[in-house]
Amino acid sequence: MQRFATLKQLNALYITANMGSVTEAARILHVTQPTVTLQIKQLEEAAGLPLFEKIGRGIVLTEAGRILTRHASKIVGQWHDASQELEELRTKARQTLRIGAIQTVEYLLPPLLIAFSEQDPNAKIDLRIGQKEEVLKLLRERSVDMVVLENDTVSDEFNHQVFADHPMAFIASPRHPLSQDGSFTLQDVVDSGLIVREAGASTRSVVEGVFKSHGMPFQFKSEFSSNVAIKRMVEANLAVGFVSLHACKAEIERNLIVPISSDRLQGWLHSEWCVITEKNAEHRPLASSFVDFLLTKGKAVTEAYFCYRSALEQSREPA
């Protein structure tokens, strides 16, 4: 004998009790009348007591039926509430763009997200910032839909697609002698007290490559794990830094910092930004839409917003 009740059975009892008719309950539930009759019979077997009694052509609840209907009402109501919450969760998941990124992306993404929101204003953003291996771990765990990193060596387990340039430069205060010298050497940069990011940072590997390409050992005065700290030291004319130009937009516009270049160095240095996704994974429509946006419009949006070409051209103008 059945000793448990299903949600369908409890719902059939609740609707039948409220409508006072098996026929009406079947109509509301979009099932046949025998189906409702069977569900109530199974409940009666589980309860061990009759739940309805016939009065003329109608039916009324027994005492056991009233008790069970009272509890069924609560259970069905709780399931309805739970269903609504689950649907809200599904809707939120569909409307939430989950992105993992390294620190410099904090400067890159806002103009891109603003532009994207114009075509999808309901999108919500969940941005996770961390070191490269940390955010790739989030991607493996499906905690983010994609990761934005530099286009360096990425494992073949992922798809990676380039969508924008990532310009980098030595920076100095407008008061620093190197800001007016278009032919300084790498040793001049070192002698000015070069500050770089910590090992593992994207700009660190690029600036190390600059020294290597010039046949010089990598030399620097200080290393900071913060772009902001480097910029403040440079603003105070206490050092020369090497950073992403995406991190310097506000300071360059206010002429607190200038990117510096030299005919005797390699010139304008840059890497590339890429969006990384899992291979053979089913991507949610919102995530796919944002990846398409990055690939088709990302380069134009970043260049228009950051104006880094103009900044470097200005840095080369004679005093």
State residue 98 phi and psi, 5-degree precision: -105, 115
Average pLDDT value for the chain? 86
Residue 300 within any structural domain of the chain: yes
For residue 84, pLDDT over 80 is answered with: no
Mean pLDDT score, 44-50: 90
C-alpha distance from residue 86 to each of 78, 144, 153, 242 (Å): 12, 20, 40, 48
Q: What integer pLDDT is reported at residue 319 of this predicted model? A: 38
For residue 190, pLDDT over 90 is answered with: yes
Among the listed residues 151, 134, 154, the one whose alpha carbon sits nearest the alpha carbon of residue 143: 134
Q: What integer pLDDT is reported at residue 205 of this predicted model? A: 84
Among the listed residues 197, 256, 208, the one whose alpha carbon sits nearest the alpha carbon of residue 230: 197
Are 213 and 89 within one domain? no
Q: What integer pLDDT is reported at residue 290 of this predicted model? A: 93
Q: Which helix (H) or strand (E) holds 235?
A: helix 227-235
Q: What integer pLDDT is reported at residue 283 of this predicted model? A: 80
Provide, rounded to the nearest whole percent, the portion of the chain with pLDDT above 70. 92
For residue 216, the tally of other CB atoms under 10 A from its CB is 13
Q: What integer pLDDT is reported at residue 92 of this predicted model? A: 61
For residue 123, pLDDT over 50 is answered with: yes
Are 16 and 130 within one domain? no
Residue 289 within any structural domain of the chain: yes
Print the domain residue range for 16.
Answer: 7-93
The CA distance from 73 to 18, in Å, is 10
> What pTM did the predictor assign?
0.65
Are 175 and 261 within one domain? yes
Residue 2 within any structural domain of the chain: no
Are 62 and 195 within one domain? no
CATH number of the domain that residue 220 is part of? 3.40.190.290
Are 128 and 84 within one domain? no
For residue 317, pLDDT over 70 is answered with: no
Mean pLDDT score, 12-33: 91
DSSP code at position 61: E
Residue 1 within any structural domain of the chain: no
Q: Which two tokens stand for residue 153?
A: 């060596």
Are 45 and 148 within one domain? no
Are 229 and 123 within one domain? yes
Q: Which two tokens stand for residue 116?
A: 């994207």
Q: Which two tokens stand for residue 105?
A: 């992306």
Provide, rounded to the nearest whole percent, the portion of the chain with pLDDT above 90. 46
Are 73 and 205 within one domain? no
Question: Coil, strand, or helix at residue 55?
Answer: strand
Would you place residue 318 in the very low, low, confident or very high pLDDT band (cuts 50, 70, 90)? Answer: very low
The tally of domains found in the chain comes to 2
Are 62 and 114 within one domain? no
Pairing between strand 58-61 and 52-55? antiparallel
**298 near 163, Cβ under 8 Å?**
yes
DSSP code at position 238: S
Residue 18 within any structural domain of the chain: yes
| Residue where a domain terminates, one of 93, 123, 147 | 93
| Residue where a domain terminates, one of 35, 61, 93 | 93
Q: Which two tokens stand for residue 171?
A: 């920076």
Would you place residue 93 in the very low, low, confident or very high pLDDT band (cuts 50, 70, 90)? Answer: low
For residue 315, pLDDT over 70 is answered with: no
For residue 142, pLDDT over 90 is answered with: no
For residue 282, pLDDT over 90 is answered with: no
CATH number of the domain that residue 76 is part of? 1.10.10.10
Are 20 and 106 within one domain? no
Residue 173 within any structural domain of the chain: yes
For the stretch 206-263, pLDDT in tens is: 899 889 988 999 999 999 988 999 999 999 999 999 998 889 989 999 999 999 988 7
| Residue where a domain terminates, one of 41, 62, 93 | 93
Are 158 and 229 within one domain? yes
Residue 69 within any structural domain of the chain: yes
The CA distance from 245 to 252, in Å, is 9
The CA distance from 11 to 74, in Å, is 10
Residue 236 within any structural domain of the chain: yes
Are 160 and 39 within one domain? no
